[in-house]
Amino acid sequence: MLNVAIFCGGYSSEYEISIKSATMILNHLPKDQYNSFLVYVDRNGWVADYKNEKCKVSLSDFGFETKSGEKIVIDLAHVYIHGNPGENGKLQAYFEMKNLPFVNSSALSSELSFDKWFCNQFLRGFGIKVAEAELILENDDYDVQKIGDRLGFPLFVKPADSGSSYGISKVYKIEDLKSAIESAFKEGRTVVCEAFLKGTEVTCGIYRNNEGLQPLPCTEIVSETDFFDFEAKYLGKSQEITPARISDKMTKKIQELTEKIYQLLQMRSLARVDYMIVGDEPYVIEVNTTPGFSGESLVPKMLKCANIEIGNFWKEIYEFERSRV
């Protein structure tokens, strides 16, 4: 059987969320087809959780040995780290250099889509609508008054080069903008301030199998908190309605736009694109190459709506990615 390692953990605040997502995937993979296991990643190295035994994985040949003498070499890597060093493409770059097949977007695609500023400016160049924004670099001198005057209030402050669950603030007045920026810098090295978009928030998952691109049903997000933050995502503080309460015409428009974005960014495997519908126009909020996949996450709900079993879903992706090698 194929030895499939699902890499999880990482260096960011989303360490535990990553483990939840990876465990969900592991529990649904066909056991008669894949010898699958988790590999925990932290700054001390990689440790495989194999048959209830913790085994240190070699970073040179991607193998490890159990206490009983069983030798395992990873055949296929599935990176499910939210944030650094997975979602931002660092592991993928290493795997590309070492010729280890992996189930993810490439290093370039992952890094570009992960950075909220660069990704949205890239998409803007192709005529895709995104919010007006200002970028702040580490150690930059910035003028909160100029930012507020240009973008208006409320506005969002986000770490541009980090995940989407921590360090995000919705700012209503100029007096709170500096502290929000400082908070965002605790999670990343660059910060983006974005104009507020008032509308209907929806998200659309997409993947590729042997039959081509497969957009999933759209999900509408109605947050009970001020915006779709950590509590709304993971602590049940939101309504997530699938399929979204939008017209068939708008659903098709968003799915087609999601396909276009997937192609432009040269993504692979699973991705999810978040939108705000303002009037009749969808604006891209952000792109996710490693969207949450725990029991509370959006994509599993989309799969359920589409009557797609989770194990078969990943099997289709694995088979397609293996055919590319």
Least confident of 34-38, 179-183, 227-231, 264-268: 227-231
Inform me whether the pLDDT recorded for 186 exceeds 50.
Answer: yes
Beta-carbon neighbour count of residue 62 at 10 Å? Answer: 20
pLDDT at 238: 77
Q: For the stretch 235-245, what's the b/e string if a residue is b when 16 or more beta carbons lie within 10 angstroms of its beta carbon?
A: eeebebbbbbe
pLDDT of 146 over the 50 cut: yes
Q: How confident is the model at residue 162 (pLDDT cuts 50, 70, 90)?
A: confident
Average pLDDT score over residue span 187-216: 96
Angle, CA of 99, 62 and 56, to the nearest 5°: 160
Q: Which of 273, 268, 296 is nearest to 283 (CA)?
A: 273
Q: What is the pLDDT of residue 166?
A: 81
Evaluate whether 113 touches 288 at the Cβ level (below 8 Å): yes
Strand partners, 37: 5
- Average pLDDT of 52-69? 96
Residues of the chain with pLDDT > 70: what percent?
95
Average pLDDT over residues 274-286: 97
Residue 228 has pLDDT above 60, yes or no: no
Task: Work out the pLDDT band at 285, boundaries 50, 70, 90.
Answer: very high
- Give the model's pLDDT for residue 212: 96
Read off the pTM.
0.92
With 50 as the cut, is the pLDDT of residue 102 above it? Answer: yes
Predicted confidence band at 235 (pLDDT cuts at 50, 70, 90)? Answer: low
pLDDT digits (tens, 9 = 90+) for 240-254: 999 999 999 999 999
**pLDDT of 50-60, one tens digit each?**
999 999 999 99
Tell me what pLDDT residue 134 has.
Answer: 97
Averaged pLDDT for residues 32-38: 97
Mean pLDDT of 26-40: 97
Both tokens assigned to 314: 């990943």
Query: What percentage of residues in the chain have a pLDDT greater than 90?
Result: 88
Q: What is the pLDDT of residue 232?
A: 46
Residue 323, pLDDT above cutoff 90: no
pLDDT score, position 236? 57
Domains (range + CATH), the chain: 2-103 (3.40.50.20), 112-128+198-324 (3.30.470.20), 133-195 (3.30.1490.20)
pLDDT average, residue stretch 76-104: 96
pLDDT at 325: 65
Check: CB of residue 185 under 8 Å from CB of residue 159. yes
- Region 286-293 average pLDDT: 96
Residue of higher predicted confidence among 166 and 242: 242
The SS3 assignment for 102 reads: strand
Query: 35: helix, coil or strand?
Result: strand
> Chain-wide mean pLDDT for the chain?
94
- Residue 307 has a pLDDT of 98
Instruction: Tell me the C-alpha distance between 14 and 142, whole Å.
Output: 28
Phi, psi for 109 (deg, rounded to 5): -60, -40
User: pLDDT-based confidence at 224, cuts 50/70/90?
Assistant: confident
Mean of pLDDT values over 188-200: 95
